[in-house]
Chain A
Amino acid sequence: MSDDMEEIIADFIVEGEETLDRIDPLFIELEEKGFDPGIINEIFRGMHTMKGAAGFLGFQKIVDVSHRAETILKKVRDKEISLEPRLVDVILKSFDMVRLLIGNIKAKDHAETDISRMLEDLDDALKASEKNPSKTVVKARPAVIEAPACGTPEAHACPEPVPDGAGKTKTAHLPSEEARTPQKEIKNEAIQNLRIGVDKIDHVMNLTGEVVLIRNRLLNLAGGLEHRYASDQQVESLLEAVSFLDLLTSDMQLAVMRMRMQPLKKVLGKFPRMVKEISAPLGKNVELRISGEDTEVDKSVIEQIGDPLVHIIRNSIDHAIEPTEERTAIGKPERGVISINASQKGSQIIIEVSDDGRGIDVEKVKRKAIDKGLISEEDASALGREGAVNLIFMPGLSTNDVATELSGRGVGMDVVKNNVSRLNGFIEIMTKKGEGTTIRISLPLTLAIIHALLVEVKGSVYAIPLTLVDETLKVAKSEIQGLLQKRVLNIRGRVYPFFELSDLLDGQSGSPGIHLPGFPGNVTQQSSPGAVEDSAGRYVIVVAVADSRFCIGVDSLLGLQEVVIKSITGSSNVAPCILGATISGDGKVILIMDLGHIARSLFDKERAQV
């Protein structure tokens, strides 16, 4: 019983949050469409159902709050009171309160959230509205009786939903049908879904990871056997079996990955309300357009992408979108538009946030950076447009006076960038003065398994995430030239900074300073530019992280492999340039390089130096 109870409570948490996520944005829809009994009833039902379940589970506070909200919604639905902004406000607050209470249950922190104020607010709001009953009440009443609003419990007179072939139902009478169809479909399929704890899925994910590692080992061993006993019948069968296992494992990986994926809607759904709440007090009229919200991403992305996106949107409303008068004065449409567009491109998820506001004033950013002593006057003038725009990612630039109280909160674009990097993604800015800005976030589809390029340096093997590798080539050591105490490589007429991977690991030549205990590359005498002299040619990896490109020299390229990222635990001094570790086909531990981090430390340092 108690196990059952725990599972039911876990269900309640998930379903309760989902319900809130679903009904929350409906208020925006309501605002656009005007009074719509179908929508009001849907909101009402959400609260009603939640209250019912909470009652069974003994969550009295949720019952108390949702009961009051439900009462108000019921009166609105029955047109006893009209839906004033004040009521919308207090109901939205009650949703937040229920969310908080569910959060308390989730955290098992036994937090004694005080709901008395909330209850009073709800009671007061209701009382105030009752004194001021709906003006349409006299007119509307008979209409309600004659033609009950569809979707209300009195809706018997409504045309019955017509089941289509797939057993889904169509409710063609709802005015908001178009907007809600996808949700309906998802809901109708829900019955075939099984709710599973994330820990269980993660366990399967981990096991799959282990299977991948074993598969890699088997492939390796089988390859060796093939080499030695090429004509052996049994070895041939073994190879066949192993190659089947290979295919199956890849399919399994994909399937497990899918289980963890959720539509971005989960995050984006909260934004319309937020945009409204932020823009209104600033006297700005902003419309949020969202597309591609069904794009699925890993659960951890869902959890971590919210804050950066919120920050970007806040910035856009705060700085980019002009006040209404200014917009009309320069001939722009009165209403500013922020669009969020999500899509999947190969193994990358792209989320673009665009606005039609002022665009970033590159000169102003430069000036700010100089004023704050982040860069020198000369550097600023040497900076290209792209480089200057990217200054906004520098810590310390956007944290105080650029950001107002709104976007401020002590968080700057550097934090946004860090958050995105933590997800192995990168961020780019495209901006045009007077026309607007697009911020593009690119994220890998999965965080657990990556395609990696295995390289060897001084006898040790490292894995480099393939998504960031632009190309690989072999060059003669003479092609690596010195320029202003830096090494560069000219590839087809373009000059790239060049670094030896071993130096990066050593922390030499302006590199991030990495100290790995017992790491074979910790031999410092090889860190001079002459280190390349002992080999006739160098293998070079061209790395592209966001808009920065650079080259890394390694001793040899060992090939591509799907690697499972295992975080390194039990050691407090894991170098920041190490993303994690994996186990190679022959059972050795391989460190996975965090190129994003390396790029940041290389170029941040460079910016600081020049």
Chain B
Amino acid sequence: MNLDTKMKILVVDDFSTMRRIVKNILKQLGFERMEEAEDGQQAYNKLTSEGGFQFVVSDWNMPNMDGLDLLRKVRANPELKDMPFLMITAEAEKHKVIEAIKAGVSNYVVKPFTAEVLKEKLDKIFEKRAQG
């Protein structure tokens, strides 16, 4: 399926190099409109005040507000509850993925990942949405 490469994506990670890496991979997949936030709190503020985002890709372990809390807040907000949300996790956090799934994550990806893997995940997320 064709992804909408014009969609506005929020990349959330506390390590700026990681944000750049993720943005770079998204760029490889043809996306052009990426914005950044460096923790869950900032991401949530951006999502609520700025709006217009169609996809969130977030790291898990961050200061102030981690990825899981961000996910929960997003799901709890009527305006944002359907936001596609991809969680980036580390190998070691795999066992906790169940928590993210319970909280309603759209999908998760274990780092490091390649552009192909990310594309697969995106396809799955947006396919599901198109169907359901």
Contact = CB atoms under 8 A, between A and B. Distances in A.
A355 B62 CA distance: 40
A45 interface: yes
A479 interface: no
Interface in A12-58: 12, 15-16, 19, 42, 45, 48-53, 55-57
Nearest to A14: B17
Nearest to B103: A156
B65 A53 contact: no
Contacts of B65: 160-161
B41 A153 contact: no
A173 B38 CA distance: 20
A12 B16 CA distance: 8
A52 B18 contact: yes
A1 interface: yes
B41 A53 contact: no
A49 B66 CA distance: 13
Interface in B1-52: 13-18, 20-21, 24, 27-28, 36-39, 41-42, 45
A517 interface: no
B64 interface: yes
B64 A191 contact: no
Contact of A11 (B13, B20, B39, B45): B20
Interface in B88-111: 90, 92-93, 96, 111
A169 interface: yes
A167 interface: yes
Interface residues of B, number: 35
A5 B62 CA distance: 24
Contacts of B66: 153, 155
Interface in A93-107: none
Nearest to A191: B38
A581 B96 CA distance: 63
B90 A53 contact: no
Nearest to B112: A55
Nearest to A4: B24
Secondary structure of the A contact surface, majority rule: helix
B61 A153 contact: yes
Nearest to B42: A191
B63 to A, nearest CB: 7
B72 interface: yes
Interface string A182-206: 0000011011000100000000000
A169 B41 contact: yes
Contact of B21 (A8, A74, A188): A8
B60 interface: yes
Contacts of B57: none
B118 to A, nearest CB: 11
Contact of B90 (A11, A19, A51, A163): A51
B37 A45 contact: no
Nearest to B66: A153
Contacts of A56: 18, 21, 111-112
Contacts of B122: none
Nearest to B18: A53
A151 interface: yes
A12 B36 contact: no
Contacts of B74: none
A16 B17 CA distance: 9
A55 B62 CA distance: 18
Contacts of A171: 63-64
Contacts of A48: 61, 90
A42 B63 contact: yes
A163 B41 contact: yes
A70 B13 CA distance: 18
B68 A151 contact: no
A57 B114 CA distance: 11
A171 B66 CA distance: 13
B38 to A, nearest CB: 5
A250 to B, nearest CB: 33
5 contacts: A5-B24, A8-B20, A16-B17, A45-B63, A55-B111
Given A11-B17, A187-B38, A190-B38, 18 more contacts: A4-B24, A5-B24, A7-B20, A8-B21, A11-B16, A15-B16, A45-B61, A48-B61, A49-B13, A49-B15, A52-B112, A53-B17, A55-B111, A151-B63, A161-B41, A187-B14, A191-B37, A195-B16
Interface of A: 1, 4-5, 7-8, 11-12, 15-16, 19, 42, 45, 48-53, 55-57, 70-71, 74, 151, 153, 155-156, 160-161, 163, 167, 169, 171, 187-188, 190-191, 195
